[in-house]
Chains A and B, each alone.
Chain A
């Protein structure tokens, strides 16, 4: 049995008086496609943001590829990680945001090449070549010289995916990446993600309200409520035969709101 690529051990996180995560533990296997679903405020996005080091944890431990994310060993003791350790750990992880977060002052190609050139010292020509391959994969090669403001939401999100892939992360985090899109643009982004799941062995964590996509895409679904995992299992079990009452009522509401499962 392989070792988990991510091991989360009883982490807690509060924003003021609001406890977003409450002693949460979970594991992710290498290459696993994991869907995190649940009502808003249930802590699923916070987990992605914690893994990307955009939020710190109040307590608990996280291991990525067997190494502590927020701690490092100094002699025998575990001490809080410094910026250098975080920089090293971030190389393993990439993230795509709900609102794309492209750099508006740079063209599509420069958005994709910036980080590899700066953080890995990849020569310009090589970074360009790799960026064009990735843009080709997401169907955006012909827009390489366009500015983000000229693109539709779906196109921006595909560029954002290429940008995250350019650093070759082992783990990709997708935070409600289709929530800000017009309905007719959702599919083009989901198609890119399907392709990614088929063609790579990347570990993918997905926070989504697209239940149909989660059903087809994920190896395992986690249902979150109030900072805890209420239920987890294979997509067909969670979506067809949810055992917990809270899962049932959540799925009922989602289906009533017009999402297909």
Chain B
């Protein structure tokens, strides 16, 4: 007989860890996306090269391997990370590499006439970026950022491999202790789906809020 109160408690702890990882990973990914995405548009070759190297490396290698590196190899180089830190680092850097291309694409898709208006108004490069280009580009980035965030959420399940007690880890614990597979895995299937829906909804409402007035429908 399964102890259901214990079961629910385990799952709730797991959800909290998964949410924590998703939020912190997304925050790091967002920062990396802007740093590397704008870095690829830099005037300076060295900055562009560095950004490109980061993007290609983290897109081109497995997130498993990146996580294992962060957790098992970095300590050999004298950098000890907790499982949570290693998880956030690997997830953030990996998804940030994809996000960087989203940032670059969105910035480049803003019409030349907006840049020319900035020159005619004598705005500096950074002022133009900050006040004119990025606010418009951000709106274009949002839908893809939503995709990236959902990808990140689902990728958090790999941290169970470095013994971090997220949703997937807890399901395995329950299965090992009770021998029941259907219940815990169905629970987390629904759990991930519900969290993904939450992200979709959040991004969509943010998109609605930010695009208000730009399309001329409402002010």
Contact = CB atoms under 8 A, between A and B. Distances in A.
A87 B124 contact: yes
**How big is the A interface, by class?**
20 to 34
A42 interface: no
A90 B219 contact: no
B163 interface: no
Contacts of B127: 118-119
A101 B114 contact: yes
Given A87-B124, A90-B122, A147-B216, A97 B116 contact: yes
Interface string A90-125: 110011010101111101000000110011000000
A150 interface: yes
A190 B142 CA distance: 40
Given A115-B123, A119-B123, A146 B219 contact: yes
Interface string B205-219: 000000001111001
A86 B86 CA distance: 48
A53 B113 CA distance: 14
B135 interface: yes
A164 interface: yes
B117 interface: yes
Interface in B129-176: 131-132, 135-136, 139
A149 interface: yes
Given A101-B116, A147-B216, A114 B135 contact: no
A119 B136 contact: no
Nearest to A87: B122
B116 A104 contact: no
Given A101-B114, A118-B127, A52 B119 contact: yes
Highest count of chain B CB atoms <10 Å: which of A53, A105, A146, A167: A105
Given A103-B132, A149-B216, A94 B120 contact: yes
B116 A149 contact: no
B157 to A, nearest CB: 38
A147 B116 CA distance: 20
A77 interface: no
A168 to B, nearest CB: 12
A54 B216 contact: no
Given A104-B214, A105-B136, A145-B219, A114 B119 contact: no
**How big is the B interface, by class?**
20 to 34
B117 A105 contact: no
The secondary-structure label for the interface of chain B is helix
Nearest to A119: B122
A90 B119 contact: yes
Given A103-B132, A105-B135, A105-B136, A167 B216 contact: no
Given A147-B219, A149-B213, A103 B124 contact: no
Contacts of A163: 121
Nearest to B132: A103
Nearest to A49: B116
Interface in B189-219: 213-216, 219
Contacts of A147: 213-214, 216, 219
A114 B119 CA distance: 13
A115 to B, nearest CB: 4
A150 B121 CA distance: 23
B216 A164 contact: no
A95 B120 contact: yes
A244 B11 CA distance: 88
A150 B116 contact: no
A99 B135 CA distance: 20
B46 to A, nearest CB: 19
A149 B216 CA distance: 4
A119 B219 contact: no
Interface in A141-162: 145-147, 149-150
A115 B120 CA distance: 10
Q: Return the 6 tightest CB-CB contacts between A and B, nearest first.
A: A149-B216, A115-B121, A101-B117, A147-B213, A95-B120, A90-B122
15 contacts: A87-B124, A90-B122, A95-B120, A97-B113, A101-B120, A102-B117, A104-B136, A105-B135, A105-B139, A107-B213, A118-B127, A146-B219, A147-B213, A150-B213, A164-B120
Given A115-B121, A167-B121, 7 more contacts: A54-B116, A95-B120, A97-B117, A118-B124, A147-B214, A147-B219, A167-B122
Interface of B: 113-114, 116-117, 119-124, 127, 131-132, 135-136, 139, 213-216, 219
